[in-house]
Structure 1
């Protein structure tokens, strides 16, 4: 279930209440006249089954509440209510399969921001991957994969393609390009200093039996990236954030970036090209699979999940879900 709080101008409150009470998948409707002070207005709160949220939120948006009031949505992890259980039964599909597009839009928009935290995490991950490549230590490579934050902008780019939002796509691509450029530049500088100090030598990249997969992209690299892209999008749309860890340790984006840096510093130019190839293959696979996954989810949900016709509300009255 999702908990929705609406700040509504007084003249819109009746319409907000109608939207809430007309939907059989909405329960626990509360109206608080005059409770909002900034902005001024009434407060309406209710719980809605995740599967029916898109239609309800679309109707609330159509009232212009984004500009004249506000709509806040929170995930409910526990709701002890028979009425809530019946509301979920009346909603189509299963909660884990429901994609709340407004939620995904907000999340992906946040992922495109080029923040200091994003740059720091990507630079740290790239440096760990570089050390793992130099020492031929797979555990360091895995650690770098988990630490890398690059899937967020990838998911945002996929969502931008779905919506035809060139601005979102541009922001996501900009974040990825600048992020990897900064991370590689910092790691290269550290590697050059380490070489001047005698800590690393070109021979360290000559024999790496357990990590040389980084410089040997093949069809399996692309297949794994495709699978990771599907899994990553599903984990975001279903709210299963723990599954993202599996995505991070499946793709070789950060290890490729780390290998580029040390290969440049140690003048292994053939490895630079191979690592860029690996990086491109993984990003392309995730972008393709993520975008297709979103298109399939939208098609299936529009076709099978959004058509709730006249039903009986949990309180026993008839209702029509006009937003589904």
Structure 2
């Protein structure tokens, strides 16, 4: 059972408003203390899936106080052990977050931040994947897929859409755009200097696409969102491998460096299939998991963003399905 320790700091004059919170049925335990200044600190232990309810309730009570602050901490262990309650029926738990909205936001935003570390990891992953193609070693390419943080910007964009947060959405777009350009630039240079064998199995696998790629990308996008919303981000390692954003992008740069525009278009199409399906699945899964803005007036804007983004991704996905169909028809008659 995942636990969270919610630390609430309020003015001493308002402590009566917060002590009553320990009577809530979702509270496992609670402590209070007064520091040397004029603050009152109240700590509440809850299940991770109940933390958002408590945070929203406290935020509504004290959002106008300047001293007010909430700190959420992950609890590794506690003694005595917390009794595990009987879980609610599956139907009632569907669409319920295991982590709070705020915790989810901070985790996603932190991973999608465009900084030198993000760009360095992209650069090194591209070099590793490029030489994996050059040496025709899939194990090396898979290692590069695990290193590359390309999935985080897509998740950030999807979360920004669902929450109606333009800043988070733009953060995801900028990080993804910078990552894509960096991958293409490095792989293009390596394609000019160390051209791979086009007939190699590893390169050929990224130059052809089918309907199965759409299904895999949709499923991978859903798993990525579930990993974040359930607090099991370790599952992202498998998702990074299955979603396959990096290999077709690196392959596109390599063959472009060789001057082969036909194979470049094939590799880019596979990348776009994965990219579009991942983002469509991300928006839908976040919404299905019950991710919503905190305030009702923000929901109207978020709904507009959500519908617009879903419509755009569906439109692009239909175009890609048509391209797959036409490509297969052309292959059959040639």
Q: TM-score range by the shorter chain?
A: 0.7 to 0.9
* Structure 2 residue matching 1:224: 3-state secondary structure: helix
| Matched residue, 2:298 | none
Assess if the C-alpha contact under 8 Å between 1:215 and 1:274 holds in 2: yes
| Matched residue, 2:249 | 257
| Matched residue, 1:31 | 32
Q: Deviations over 1:97-151 (max 9, x none)?
A: 6242111111122233101111111111112111122222111111111111011
Q: 1: distance between equivalents of 2:179 and 2:291?
A: 33
TM-score by length of 2: 0.78
* Structure 2 residue matching 1:74: 3-state secondary structure: strand
Q: Relative to 1, partners in 2 of residues 1:134 and 1:65: Cα closer, same or farther, differing over 3 Å? A: farther
Q: Report the number of matched residues.
A: 286
Q: Deviations over 1:85-107 (max 9, x none)?
A: 26x5598859x962421111111
- Runs of 4+ in structure 1 deviating by more than 3 angstroms, as ranges, are 88-94
Q: Relative to 1, partners in 2 of residues 1:65 and 1:278: Cα closer, same or farther, differing over 3 Å? A: farther
Q: 2: distance between equivalents of 1:46 and 1:16?
A: 11
1:277 to 269, 277, 291: 269
Q: 1: distance between equivalents of 2:208 and 2:67?
A: 56
Assess if the C-alpha contact under 8 Å between 1:260 and 1:276 holds in 2: yes
Q: Relative to 1, partners in 2 of residues 1:22 and 1:97: Cα closer, same or farther, differing over 3 Å? A: same
TM-score by length of 1: 0.81
| Matched residue, 1:320 | none
* Structure 2 residue matching 1:298: 3-state secondary structure: coil
| Matched residue, 1:321 | none
| Matched residue, 2:14 | 12
Q: 2: distance between equivalents of 1:90 and 1:22?
A: 21
Displacement after TM superposition at 1:27 (Å): 2.8
| Matched residue, 1:73 | 72
Q: 2: distance between equivalents of 1:123 and 1:12?
A: 51
Q: Work out whether 1:47 is the aligned partner of 2:49.
A: no
Q: 1: distance between equivalents of 2:87 and 2:211?
A: 45
Q: 1: distance between equivalents of 2:250 and 2:291?
A: 39
Q: Deviations over 1:19-42 (max 9, x none)?
A: 2x131121321111235x5xx511
Q: Relative to 1, partners in 2 of residues 1:90 and 1:33: Cα closer, same or farther, differing over 3 Å? A: farther
| Matched residue, 2:183 | 183
Q: 1: distance between equivalents of 2:284 and 2:273?
A: 17
Relative contact order, CA 8 A, sep 6+: which one is greater? 1
Assess if the C-alpha contact under 8 Å between 1:6 and 1:43 holds in 2: yes
| Matched residue, 2:311 | none
Q: 1: distance between equivalents of 2:97 and 2:72?
A: 18
Q: Which runs of 5+ in 2 are unaligned?
A: 293-334
Q: 2: distance between equivalents of 1:261 and 1:188?
A: 4
* Structure 2 residue matching 1:214: 3-state secondary structure: coil
Assess if the C-alpha contact under 8 Å between 2:99 and 2:231 holds in 1: no
Q: Relative to 1, partners in 2 of residues 1:93 and 1:111: Cα closer, same or farther, differing over 3 Å? A: same
* Structure 2 residue matching 1:24: 3-state secondary structure: coil
